[in-house]
Amino acid sequence: MNCHVCGSISLKPIMHDGQFALVSSDIRPVTGKLALVVCNECGVLQKVIDPEWLTAVEQIYVSYTINHQSGGADPVLFNSVCGSAPRAEILVSLLKNRGGLKSQGCMLDIGCANGNILQRFAQHFSEWSLHGMDRSPFWRETILAIPGVDAHYSSLAETEGQRFDLIVMSHVLEHIPDPATYLRELRGYLT
């Protein structure tokens, strides 16, 4: 195994008694074991991508419910620049105010789930072509009903050579087994 960030093979196992309480990103208990290592080169703590981890991930996605505590609504956060607002509103406001985005373009939201970011983006950038991608098809019809959304994909391969001016990922990168390689691959999808 190589470091997920710098590629080093100098990894040190983190010893534990196996009693980590595993919790999914939708705040549900997960059964299974988690092996952790720290990279001696860059210092990043990371999961070992092994068969047990892959099995646990599949169990999570079978019953994953985004923001189930609030019925799917985006959590409200406080940001010193934007004030109190739903997380997607803060993200899109920051993109609008600091992102230097043109009035028209094409955006891909990877890990779009129920479309909170796509909905907010559509409100602020009505002339953009929006695309959502999520490995689960559960929210597909909801995503396609958002004004400005032209497509929903379950993988990058389905984009069939489409290029994007902006690719957004919120709470996604930590779920990617090899994030550095994935980010390098995404460069090829940007205009």
| 185/164 Cα distance (integer angstroms) | 13
* pLDDT, mean of residues 3-17: 88
Other beta carbons within 10 angstroms of residue 175's beta carbon come to: 14
* Confidence class for position 53, pLDDT limits 50, 70, 90: confident
Encoded tokens for 136? 């689960």
Give the Å distances, CA to CA, from 49 to 16, 140, 154: 17, 28, 21
Residue 30 in this model has a pLDDT that exceeds 70: yes
Encoded tokens for 24? 């999914």
DSSP-assigned letter for residue 57: H
Give the Å distances, CA to CA, from 124 to 2, 80, 138, 166: 41, 20, 25, 14
Contacts of 93 (CB under 8 A, 6+ apart): 82, 85, 124
Give the pLDDT score at 61. Answer: 76
What string of DSSP letters covers 129-149?
Answer: EEEEE-S--TTHHHHHTSTTE
Q: Give the tens place of pLDDT for each residue, 116-169.
A: 999 999 999 999 999 999 988 889 999 999 999 999 999 999 998 899 999 999
Where are the domains positioned within the chain? Answer: 11-62, 101-187
CATH class (in words) of the domain with range 101-187: alpha beta
Q: Are 130 and 107 in contact (CB under 8 A)?
A: yes
Give the pLDDT score at 19. Answer: 66
* pLDDT, mean of residues 56-84: 77
Encoded tokens for 91? 């993200």
Closest to 91 in 3D by CA, of 107, 105, 106, 104? 107
Residue 25 in this model has a pLDDT that exceeds 90: no
Beta strands in 75-170 (DSSP E): 76-79, 83-86, 106-110, 129-133, 149-153, 166-169
Closest to 65 in 3D by CA, of 15, 176, 139? 139
DSSP-assigned letter for residue 151: E
Mean per-residue pLDDT over the chain, rounded = 88
Phi, psi of 66 (to 5 degrees): -65, 130
The number of residues making up the chain comes to: 191
- Beta partners for 77? 85
